[in-house]
Each structure stands twice: as structure tokens, then as C-alpha cells.
Amino acid sequence: MGEARDDPRIFLVEPEQRGVIPLDGFHIPTRLKRTTRGDPFQIRVDTAFGAVLDACAASTTGREDTWINGPIRRLYLELNARGQAHSIECWRDERLVGGLYGVTLGGAFFGESMFSRERDASKVALVHLVARLKRGGWRLLDAQFQTEHLSQFGAVATPQATYLKVLKSVRALRPNARSLFEPMTGAEAIFYALQPTTQAS
């Protein structure tokens, strides 16, 4: 993380309690199910990674500064170019209205940040992310910090020692990366997001 947008330093954070969204315990609130099923947005993957990154770093009410500084932005763009970082994007009328991005390593996906310019856009992106991860054989969705916002989706606080054991066990997995990019309707996203996870090879 960076201390602030204009601070060039990067430091590592290792929380004692890690925020994890259990893929087999993912919860979709009733209203969000209706919204997602209605396909209010066009879902794209990695078509505007830099724009998603910048939107996540933009100043908003209650969050005037960001931990995404210049060096971090460059590192994420490089990871995206290597196929190790991805964005799930919500579009309406050719306008980017929400989304999220994260980094993948083996069977783990590390959610980094999300943003919304329209109601529920980032939440719909999260449902689509979880659906694609489960369909492709990922086993861990790391949310980094447990928050009230994420708890509605089933996120739990996991002791760091336990988290590291799980991470070690999934790093050798090889999920099907194509599953991130294959088209999926809102109804299909709900279906896959609520299905038991499948084991990657």
C-alpha cells in the first residue's frame, strides 16, 4: 500500500485478521439477485484495466485520498500485462460505471479495490467475479480486510496463520483462466456464484 496518492513509498500490510470471502459461503442479498438477474450492465473483463484502477483511486466523499500511488499503479499495470491482474467491468451505454480489480496467483484471487458510479455496479461486478472464479476452479478469494460492506456477502475474518495455510494449499492449483473471460448472463452468474466450488487441476 501507499500512504497517500503523492507519496512514492510502498509498504506491506499483514493484518492479524484477514478478510476472506469463502467461495462456498458466498451470499447474494435478495435485491442484488434481482438486479444481477436483470442484466443492467454489460460485463467486460480486462478491456479497461487502467481506467478501473484510476476509478478505484479517485477521490470520493469520505475518501479523499488513496493508497494507490504511482509506483503501485505501474506495478498493477505490469501484472495486468502479464495476465496476473484482471478487472471485472460494468458498462452502460459505452460508459464505465463500476467494477473491481485484483491479482491472481494459483488458486487464489486477491481482490484489491472496487468502485461504483451507478447503484450496485461494484456489487454486480463482485457477483460476476465470484461466479467466474468458481466456474474456473479458484479456491480462495482474499478481500484483505473484513468490512461491514463485505460481510453482507459472507466475508469472514480469518486469523493470519490459518489464512497462510490455506494460501499455501491453493497456490499450486491451476484454474482455468479462460473462465474469467467467457460470456455470462446475470442469471448464470447467480447460478455459478451459489454452486459448490470445483477443484482445479
What pTM value is reported for the model? 0.89
Residuewise pLDDT in 10s, the chain (201 residues): 555 556 666 546 677 889 999 999 999 999 999 999 999 999 999 999 999 999 988 866 655 556 567 788 889 999 999 999 999 999 999 999 999 999 999 999 999 999 999 999 999 999 999 999 999 999 999 998 777 788 889 999 999 999 999 999 999 999 999 999 999 999 999 999 998 775 544
Q: Which fold has domain 17-193?
A: Aminopeptidase (3.40.630)
Taken in order 118, 120, 122, 128, the sign of the CA dihedral is: negative
Task: Please answer whether residues 31 and 119 qualify as being in contact, where contact means their C-beta atoms are separated by less than 8 angstroms.
Answer: no
